[in-house]
Amino acid sequence: MKSAVVVFPGINRERDMMVALETVTGHKPFAVWHTETELPKVDLVVVPGGFSYGDYLRCGAIAARAPIMTDIRAKALKGLKVLGICNGFQIITEAGLLPGALVRNSHLHFVCREVKLKVENNHTFFTNKMTEGAIVSCPIAHGEGNYICDAETLKVLEAEDRVVFRYAEGTNPNGAMNDIAGIINEQGNVIGMMPHPENMIEPLHGKTDCRPLFESLLAA
């Protein structure tokens, strides 16, 4: 399982992601600078969290138009697995790889804490080692994680079982529609999520709830 982590100016979670990937898969991921125009040969590309371009214009908007994104988009269409975490979710959504948008948290505050996530779909490349309906702990850290989309898109996401993660009932930290924390595209190879599973895989993180997510990559 070879992977690459894309690095943009202002991103700050790429190291945590690279450590998590290497720890679980045994392969050191490539770090790919945003001005590159071609990805190395990999099975998975991760767009990590942070604050690319200082969240200028809209979160993820500038990074979504970076040179490397053209190759990511082209390869995603051909089935390359793409995982966007936090700002990465915002970036791949801005890039049109996932539907909808992430807007300012409904209460306007930045939230940085642990939340409970419900695994809604365990038939994906990032959740196949999870039990459907399982509730896991995962950290979040974002000011713009409020997922919105039009009514028709929401209906399709729900009908096609494309909500992968939901904030556990009554714990929605940002106002996201239907408590959505993470979704998958129609083809099943692009996942975006606001929480940071890479920070809940080692005993030193306090809990290891999210380690099976990374172990899922090995089976996918």
Binding site for other proteins (CB under 8 A): 57-58, 61, 65, 94, 99-101, 103-108, 146, 148-150, 175
Tell me the C-alpha to C-alpha distance, in Å, between residue 212 and each of 3, 74, 112.
17, 29, 23
Least separation in angstroms between CB 101 and other proteins: 5
Q: Which residue, 88 or 99, is less far from other proteins as judged by CB?
A: 99
Contact by Cβ (8 Å): 201, 189:
no
Least separation in angstroms between CB 142 and other proteins: 14
Least separation in angstroms between CB 104 and other proteins: 5
- Any bridge partners for residue 152, and if so which? none
In this structure, which amino acid lies at residue 182? Answer: G
Q: Is 171 exposed, middle or buried (0-12, 13-18, 19+ CB in 10 A)?
A: middle
> Beta-strand (E) ranges in 23-108?
30-33, 44-47, 81-85, 101-103
Q: Which residue, 108 or 219, is less far from other proteins as judged by CB?
A: 108
Q: What are phi and psi of 14, to 5 degrees?
A: -70, -35
Least separation in angstroms between CB 11 and other proteins: 19
Given 59, 86, 138, 210, which residue is catalytic?
A: 86
138 counts as catalytic? no
Q: Which residue, 35 or 106, is less far from other proteins as judged by CB?
A: 106
Q: Which residue, 68 or 136, is less far from other proteins as judged by CB?
A: 68
Which residues are designated catalytic?
86, 196, 198
